[in-house]
Amino acid sequence: MNYRVNLKALDNSFKVPNELADNFIKLANPKHIMVLLWVLRHAETPKSADEIAEMLQIEKAVVREAIFYWIDNGFIIPEGENASSPAKPKAKAKKKETADAKPSHKLGSSMASDEEVLKRAEESDEFRYVLQKSQELFSRTISKAERSMLLSLMDYYGLPTEVILMLITYAVSAGRTGTNYIHTVGISWAEEGITTFESAEAKIEQLNKTNKLWSAFQRQAGIPVKNPTRKQEALFTKWTGEWNMSVELIAYGYEKMIDAIDKPNYKYLDKMLGSWHEAGAYTIDRVEALEAEKQNGIKGKKTSEENSFSTSSFESFVMNNELKYKKEEG
């Protein structure tokens, strides 16, 4: 079925730039488009970002980001400045993009500019899809830092589209949507070779298991519930995964650590648990028995040293002093 415009609806209308409909509508954030359409509708009465946010009932930060985006692309200008032609995205190459297509440069730790992100979105259907789906998963407009981070994970670290989106899905479900966290986890996945749907699914299953165990550990140890840091997460994965230690034993170790040094120190705890792991002590009873053996060994050593000292002293006394028996006269 084909569709056409109801011409009566055009009786009250305003102008929309062709470039917006032809190009940017496919690339821009939906909320950015919302802001621009509202600004176009009220072109004769300039408004501030705060006024636009209030009228559209969206976040001020989103409106400001949208305004910067449209200023960069020539659709909006600050009051008092001369108008210029809007930017025109380069037409897509007719040749179909291959899976091996790469950007002209690699992204490292530096942030990619909006121009670089836009250019890549024009070139790559996959990257444009990642941007669109990420916004849906976050349920908000993604920031410049997030767009740059996604470009870095895809083009510099080589993570496939489905793996990046699975990572974001996990991060949202875990309440860990910080750009630095997602970028760091993405890099570690790339280094571990997690580049398929199956491997990402297995990794997320492991992370979810670790998170549940971490929450149980916090409750047992009386720690305020919060997400572990990346280092804590790695240590906890080692303790529960590689060493097969129970949450109860780790919480017991945490309590002993506090008793010993009166403050949390996960390196200290790691060394303590490592010594138990080497000794094959995987229950609280076995750890207590091990410690009792050590204490008895220390006591036995001290007793032996004391006895040895007394005997040698006595022998030295005998050798250096002549013992005489004096018969009592009756």
Neighbour count for residue 261 (Cβ, 10 Å): 11
Q: What is the pLDDT of residue 101?
A: 43
Tens of pLDDT, residues 238-296: 998 889 999 999 999 999 999 998 888 989 999 999 999 999 989 999 989 888 888 77
Tens of pLDDT, residues 299-313: 555 555 555 555 455
Q: What is the third-level CATH fold of 114-195? A: Arc Repressor Mutant, subunit A (1.10.10)
Q: How many residues does the chain have?
A: 330
Neighbour count for residue 78 (Cβ, 10 Å): 8
Q: Residue 49: pLDDT above 90?
A: no
Q: What is the pLDDT of residue 175?
A: 86
Q: Residue 163: pLDDT above 90?
A: yes
Domain ranges of the chain: 12-72, 114-195, 196-304
Q: Residue 54: pLDDT above 60?
A: yes
Residue whose token pair is 């530096």: 110
Q: Residue 95: pLDDT above 50?
A: no
Average pLDDT over residues 24-44: 82
Q: Is 293 exposed, middle or buried (0-12, 13-18, 19+ CB in 10 A)?
A: exposed
Q: Is the pTM of this model over 0.75?
A: no
